[in-house]
Amino acid sequence: MSLRNIAIIAHVDHGKTTLVDQLLAQSGVFRANEATVERAMDSNDQERERGITILAKCTSVLWHGKAGETRINIIDTPGHADFGGEVERILGMVDGCVLLVDAEEGVMPQTKFVLGKALKMGLRPILCLNKVDRPHADPDRVHNDAFDLFAAMGATDEQLDFPHIYASGKNGWATMDLNQPNDDLAPLFDLIVDHVPPPKAEARKDEPFQILSVLIENDPFLGRLLTGRIEAGKAVAGLPIKALSRDGKEIERGRITKVLAFRGLKRQPIDEGAEAGDIVAIAGMSKATVADTLCAMEVNEALPAQPIDPPTISMTVSVNDSPLAGREGDKVQSRVIAARLQKEAESNVAIRVTETAEKDAYEVAGRGELQLGVLIESMRREGFEVSISRPRVVFQQDPETGERLEPIEDVMIDVDDEFTGIVIEKLSARKAELKDMGPSGAGKTRISLSSPSRSLIGYQGEFLTDTRGSGVLNRVFSHYEPYKGAIDAGRKGVLVSNSDGDTAAYALWNLEERGTMFVGAGEKTYQGMIIGENARSDDLDVNPMKAKQLTNVRASGKDEAVRLTPPRRLTLEQAIAYIEEDELVEVTPKSIRLRKKVLNPSFRKKRVKEE
């Protein structure tokens, strides 16, 4: 039986996970009467809720095609740039990839990002033009755009000679020629088998065992599981092995307790062992982590690991010290928070955790607001209570001139024609530079810009308001440039509670003319907590507990039932993007509250004067 290792790479929402569903179904992984779920590979709760892939996952199918029986290991990768660290490591484990491009949307920023990584590693991608059955699909235009992108990314002549195939992942069919319809994915399976080379490692079956750890997870029964492609030798349960760091230093010695291979959606133990070229998960080590080499005792050199792009956004995660702390979560101590963050940094190489000079606070750096938001949401669901600062960009210094450099992102926006003016005006004020602009379908315009990462923090909500929810903004890290100066985001002031207690409907009703409320009646608040957005630019201390003064001269029932406007509830990502430097987001398992760093108004004013 021959073997193929491939990754499915694409921009977010171009149909990777849906296509993998159909590949699994048509290869016979599911029984005819088996109940299956949509997007079977998105097993994480947040992946299902958000409709995106966050973690790369492996699966395996058997294909009986023209070339006989072939086992195809398929890796489904995330589409968001924030989770690009997963993509970078995964591509080192495969011999080919399927680049999926939406035949209507065309080439997007993340398409450029993942393709660049694949070409750099010498892979020869297969171009799959997906969703060709959509009403406004234009596969010929998208195919030409993809060729131009390959050329612009420095593809070799061999890589430029890429095969392409048309598909509808949702409906489960693919064809090499749109004039010859087809009703299954057999042409795609056959193209993968013909175009993707078998693993080079197969020639090293008789050498000492070596595998580079690419993914890590913890199993309640087997302990730490390290996944990777066997580069040489054979993995058999009971084999004595050692772990080497990137620089070749020995980390620990141990024994393989279990070898698990991917068979469909399940991981199954292989008693006879796994040979070079196969992708497996190995149990038995307690300290080894991502980018470490697991090898036989006689091996002394570590396998080369892919360098990971540095983080571009950071924020401070600290202990929740508000007056309502400890009422909803059970994990509130700084050592518990630190251990959880270090565990995340260990398995996710795109995240970096460092201690700060402040007491009980840690700086967490990552690829973007979404990635950090997903981490905090996971901690929240696990029972943690934390305080989060406003995200900041990670600056670098030019080694030659000593100049301060900031991250720049490529931004691509699809918006209705009527909103192009306001979008360009707002982003230009935020130091973004317009690169290209043109029609992208009926009544829509595509705008390409180069923008500092700083100017995009907190802009998503404003963008959706400006475009009445119809705009789509995509962004991906591009490079570093000299610091562009101060940016005025233009946020309004906030309404801050001046005392502790439960909010009163009458007080909120009177405050509504001052701005937009974030809380409803009967909710617990405390001094320094932000309860709404001021209609003006300055912050205002208010009393949300003030009840109506009762007198003996009033009609029974009159004025009692005030009608409140429903409060504006911010999601975790919206709250993180909304706050300013002197504010925090208090995150608990049940609540998301905004607050000032300094709760006492007198101390707050004193600090402003000192600055």
pLDDT digits (tens, 9 = 90+) for 423-437: 898 888 888 899 988
Lowest mean pLDDT among 33-47, 224-238, 411-425, 559-573: 33-47
pLDDT digits (tens, 9 = 90+) for 96-140: 999 999 888 888 777 777 788 888 888 999 999 998 988 888 899
- Could you give the count of Cα atoms lying within 13 Å of 332 in the half-sphere of its Cβ? 14
Lowest mean pLDDT among 42-46, 94-98, 302-306, 403-407: 42-46
Q: What pLDDT band is residue 31 in, cutting at 50, 70 and 90?
A: very low
Q: Which of 296, 319, 342 is the last residue of a domain?
A: 296
Distances in Å between the Cα of 113 and the Cα atoms of 88, 382, 423 are 10, 33, 24
Structural domain that includes position 274: 202-296
pLDDT value of position 41: 44
In-domain check, residue 278: yes
Q: Which of 182, 198, 214 is the last residue of a domain?
A: 198
Q: Do 449 and 531 lie in a common domain? A: no
Q: Which of 296, 326, 351 is the last residue of a domain?
A: 296
pLDDT value of position 357: 83
pLDDT value of position 611: 62
In-domain check, residue 466: yes
Q: Are 373 and 50 in contact, with CB atoms under 8 Å apart?
A: no
Distances in Å between the Cα of 243 and the Cα atoms of 10, 239, 299 are 33, 13, 10
Beta-sheet strands, E only, within 245-370: 250-255, 258-263, 266-269, 274-275, 279-283, 293-296, 313-319, 352-355, 361-366
In-domain check, residue 350: no
pLDDT digits (tens, 9 = 90+) for 52-108: 544 556 788 888 877 778 888 888 776 555 555 567 677 888 889 999 998 888 887
pLDDT digits (tens, 9 = 90+) for 185-241: 889 989 999 999 988 877 788 889 999 888 887 778 888 888 888 988 888 888 999
Q: Do 234 and 292 lie in a common domain? A: yes
pLDDT value of position 28: 67
pLDDT digits (tens, 9 = 90+) for 301-350: 888 877 666 788 899 999 999 999 888 888 889 999 999 998 888 777 77
Q: Are 79 and 11 in contact, with CB atoms under 8 Å apart?
A: yes
Q: Do 87 and 137 lie in a common domain? A: yes
Q: Do 254 and 119 lie in a common domain? A: no
pLDDT value of position 484: 87
In-domain check, residue 348: no
In-domain check, residue 272: yes
Domain count for the chain: 4
CATH number at residue 35: 3.40.50.300
In-domain check, residue 311: no
Q: Do 263 and 210 lie in a common domain? A: yes
Quote the CA–CA distance of 367 and 404 in Å, as a whole number.
19
Helix, strand, coil percentages, rounded to 5, for the chain:
25, 30, 45
**CA 279 to the chain's CA centroid:** 24
In-domain check, residue 568: yes
In-domain check, residue 603: yes
Q: What pLDDT band is residue 144 in, cutting at 50, 70 and 90?
A: very high
Q: What is the mean pLDDT of the chain?
A: 83
Q: Which residue has the higher pLDDT, 2 or 90?
A: 2
Question: What's the token pair of residue 304?
Answer: 């080369």
pLDDT value of position 225: 86
Apex 90 CA angle, 89 and 96, nearest 5: 130
Name the CA dihedral angle for 379, 380, 384, 388, rounded to a multiple of 10 degrees.
90
CATH number at residue 450: 3.30.70.240
In the chain, the percentage of residues whose pLDDT exceeds 90 is 20
Q: Do 189 and 226 lie in a common domain? A: no
Lowest mean pLDDT among 62-66, 364-368, 512-516, 549-553: 549-553
Coil, strand or helix: which one is 496? strand
Going by their DSSP bridges, the two strands 240-244 and 68-76 should be labelled as unpaired
Lowest mean pLDDT among 449-458, 526-535, 550-559: 550-559
Q: Do 192 and 266 lie in a common domain? A: no
Q: Do 220 and 153 lie in a common domain? A: no
Q: Do 432 and 558 lie in a common domain? A: no
Q: What pLDDT band is residue 34 in, cutting at 50, 70 and 90?
A: very low
Lowest mean pLDDT among 46-55, 148-157, 368-377, 413-422: 46-55
Amino acid identity at 344? E
Distances in Å between the Cα of 588 and the Cα atoms of 370, 388, 579, 592, 594 are 18, 11, 17, 6, 12
Quote the CA–CA distance of 556 and 550 in Å, as a whole number.
11
CATH number at residue 256: 2.40.30.10
Q: Do 37 and 174 lie in a common domain? A: yes
- What's the pTM? 0.75
Q: Do 413 and 428 lie in a common domain? A: yes
Average of per-residue pLDDT across 466-474 = 82
Q: Do 550 and 441 lie in a common domain? A: no
